[in-house]
Amino acid sequence: MHARVLMGTLWGATAATPQHSQTIYADIELTGGTIPIEAGADERAVMLVGGQAELDGQPLELFTLYVLRPGHEARLSSASGARAMLMGGQAFTTPRHVFWNFVSSSRDRINQAKDDWKALRFPLIPGDDQEFIPLPEKPVTVSYP
């Protein structure tokens, strides 16, 4: 088993990545065996990105986000090898709104970002300035308390 802590503090290791709120993000490679998914963070999720693995004995599907119950220490295991991402952190204490790639505590800011995207006021991505992805008309919108 090998895990790289990309952001935050996990399993006694702290990443050098700056963070502005408690965040965890780790790349986990299981070569057989089990790793605990600690219950310290308010919100946590696991995504299997390669191989075969189980979470608390239940098989995981590739590229499916499994959100863990707060306070539950889960166990990620694989007999044949797997790669998974662990992500999460501190829960927001104020409302958050999500529309496509835009996240804000203000619906007005989300609407401004939508207008700015449509009007091409966002800077182009260096090296990827040939493709423009239009704003979806009706993406799934989520509000977090």
Q: How far apart are CA 44 and CA 130, in angstroms?
A: 36
CATH number listed for the domain at residues 2-89: 2.60.120.10
Kindly report, residue by residue over 35-63, the tens digit of the pLDDT. 999 888 889 999 999 999 999 999 999 99
Q: Where are the domains of the chain?
A: 2-89, 96-144
Measure the CA–CA gap between 100 and 110, rounded to whole angstroms. 10
Q: How many CB atoms lie within 10 A of CB 43?
A: 16
pTM above 0.75?
no
Summarised one tens digit per residue, pLDDT across range 78-96 is: 999 999 999 999 888 888 8
Per-residue pLDDT, averaged over 96-114, amounts to 91
Q: Where are the beta strands (DSSP E) in 96-140?
A: 96-99, 102-104
